[in-house]
Amino acid sequence: MHTPQTTHLIYVGGTFGSHGTPLSPLPADVFLPVLQSELAARLAHISTHILPNDIIKDSSALTPSDFVALYETLLTAYQTGARRFVIITGTDSLSYLAAFMAAAFADCHDITLIITGSMQPLLIADEVELQINEQSDAWANISGAIAVAQAAISGVFVQFANKTLLAKSTQKIDSQVFDAFAGMPLTPSQAPKTTGEFHSASWQAERISALEQLRSLAKQNVIQMVFALPMGADILAHELETLDNNTKAVIIAAFGAGNLPQSPRLIQVLDKLHEDGITVICTTQCAFGGVNSNYAAGSWQYQHGVLAGQDLSIAGIFGQVLWQLINSLPIALSPLAKPDEQSTAKSATSGAAYE
C-alpha cells in the first residue's frame, strides 16, 4: 500500500533520460538507478518511488495506446493509495499526453499529477561514464515537479522552466530553449488542495472495467490534422476527402482567429463529414489568442458542423477529443462565445490564451 505523501515517478524516456550521439533514451534498468541515486542524495527529505513502466521511447513515437497504458499505470497505483505523481517524458508530445491526462482525471479531485521533461539530458551526453550534467534543465524540472506534487494541489499540470501550467492548455513553442512551453499558469485561485480521500470502490471498479474498451478503441479511432495553406479552398477540401477510413475527428489548423477560404466544394465536404459523424474542429496556427467568430472568413464554417477549439491549444484539443472518443462519449468542446463576450474575455486575459 502506497502512502499519499509519497511522490510516484513514471519514466517514459525522452530527452530527460537520453544519452549518446545522437541522443536516444536509455533503458530503464540503466537510467533509473542513476536517477534514484540523485533523488536520494538531493531530495532525501522527500519520499519518492519509481513505478514500473515498459514504455520507454522518444516521445515523438508515443501513440494513443501508450497514453492508455500510462493511464492504467496511474489508475492501478491510485487503487493502492498513491495520490501524487510525476511523469517524465519527452517534450515533443508532452503537451498531448498532458492534455489527455487532464481529461482522464478531470473528475478526480484527490490526485496531483505533474508532467515534465527537459530540453537537455540529465546526463552528459557524450561521456562514456554516466555523469550528471549540471548545466541541463533536467534537474530543475524534475525537482520542481516533485515540489508541486508535494504541495498536493488537485489537478494535472505541466512543470517546465520554473513554471506550473494547466495541462489542458500547454503547447511546445520552441525547439531549442529551456523555456519551451507556453500555457495558462496555475494561480492560487485554481489551486484547490487534494482531499486525501479515496474515490468510492464503485468509481475505481468502473474505471478498471473500462480499460479493455479504452485499449481497443485507442487502436481504432484516428484523429487527423489538416493544415490550411494559402492554396485555395478546394485543396483543403481534397485533403478532407481523403481521410483515413478510421478517422473519427479532424483538427483544422486555420489562419488567424480561425479563418478559412470558402468554396461550394469545401462546404459540401464539411456537410458530408458532419452527416457521417466525423467531427471537425477548427483551431489556429497562431500560438496565442485562440479562435473566434468575429470575421466572416471564419464564422461561416460553424454553420456546417465545425466545432471551435476556441481557447484550447492543438494538443489540448487532441487530448480531450481522444479521451472522449475512446470512452464513446459525444465530442464536446466549450461553445464559441459571442463577439462581445470574446472581447470581454480577451481583455480579462490580455488576449493570450496560452500565456
Q: What is the mean pLDDT of residues 344-354?
A: 34
Listed residue (94, 332, 328, 96) closest to 212, CA to CA: 328
- pLDDT over 80 at 2, yes or no: no
Q: What is the mean pLDDT of residues 339-344?
A: 48
Q: How many percent of the chain have pLDDT more than 70?
A: 91
Listed residue (21, 225, 254, 14) closest to 127, CA to CA: 21
Cα–Cα distance measured from residue 143 to residue 283, given in angstroms and rounded to the nearest whole number: 34
Regarding beta strands 222-227 and 181-182, do their DSSP bridges make them parallel or antiparallel, or are they unpaired? Answer: unpaired
Cα–Cα distance measured from residue 102 to residue 341, given in angstroms and rounded to the nearest whole number: 26
Asked if omega into 22 is within 30° of 0 (cis), the reply is yes
Phi, psi dihedral angles at 122 (to 5 degrees): -65, -30
Listed residue (160, 175, 306) closest to 228, CA to CA: 306
- pLDDT over 80 at 341, yes or no: no
CA 57 to the chain's CA centroid: 17
Burial of 329 (0-12, 13-18, 19+ CB in 10 A): exposed
pLDDT at site 198: 58
Q: What is the mean pLDDT of residues 114-122?
A: 98
- pLDDT over 80 at 195, yes or no: no
Band the pLDDT of 333: cuts 50, 70, 90: confident
Using the Cα atoms of residue 92, residue 93, residue 94 and residue 99 in order, give the sign of their dihedral.
positive
Cβ-based neighbour number of residue 182 at 10 Å = 23
Q: Which residues pair with 11 in a beta bridge?
A: 88
Domains 7-209 and 221-348 share a fold: yes
Burial of 245 (0-12, 13-18, 19+ CB in 10 A): exposed
B/e letters for 52-76, b = 16+ CB within 10 Å, e = fewer, are: ebebbbbbeebebebbbbbbebbbe
pLDDT at site 347: 33
**Are 97 and 70 in contact, with CB atoms under 8 Å apart?**
yes
**Are 299 and 327 in contact, with CB atoms under 8 Å apart?**
no
User: Nine-digit cell at 293?
Assistant: 467568430
Residues 6+ apart with CB under 8 A from 82: 2, 4, 6, 8
pLDDT at site 201: 79
Side-chain half-sphere of 195: how many Cα atoms within 13 Å?
7
pLDDT in tens, 159-182: 999 999 999 999 999 999 999 999
pLDDT at site 4: 74
pLDDT at site 350: 31
pTM exceeds 0.85, yes or no: yes
Using the Cα atoms of residue 222, residue 174, residue 185 and residue 117 in order, give the sign of their dihedral.
positive
- pLDDT over 50 at 348, yes or no: no
Cα–Cα distance measured from residue 73 to residue 277, given in angstroms and rounded to the nearest whole number: 32
Cα–Cα distance measured from residue 102 to residue 166, given in angstroms and rounded to the nearest whole number: 9
What is the CATH number assigned to the segment(s) 221-348? 3.40.50.40
Task: Identify the H or E element spanning 284.
Answer: strand 279-284
pLDDT at site 191: 62
Q: What is the mean pLDDT of residues 59-65?
A: 97
**Are 152 and 97 in contact, with CB atoms under 8 Å apart?**
no
Q: How many percent of the chain have pLDDT more than 90?
A: 81
pLDDT at site 204: 87
Higher confidence at residue 329 or residue 128? Answer: 329
- pLDDT over 60 at 345, yes or no: no
pLDDT at site 354: 28
Using the Cα atoms of residue 233, residue 236, residue 241 and residue 247 in order, give the sign of their dihedral.
negative
Domain ranges of the chain: 7-209, 221-348
Secondary structure of residue 196 in the 3-state scheme: coil
pLDDT in tens, 11-38: 999 999 999 999 999 999 999 999 999 9
The 8-class DSSP code of residue 210 comes to T
- pLDDT over 90 at 339, yes or no: no
Q: Which CATH superfamily is domain 7-209 in?
A: L-asparaginase, N-terminal domain (3.40.50.1170)
pLDDT in tens, 213-253: 999 999 999 999 999 999 999 999 999 999 999 999 999 99
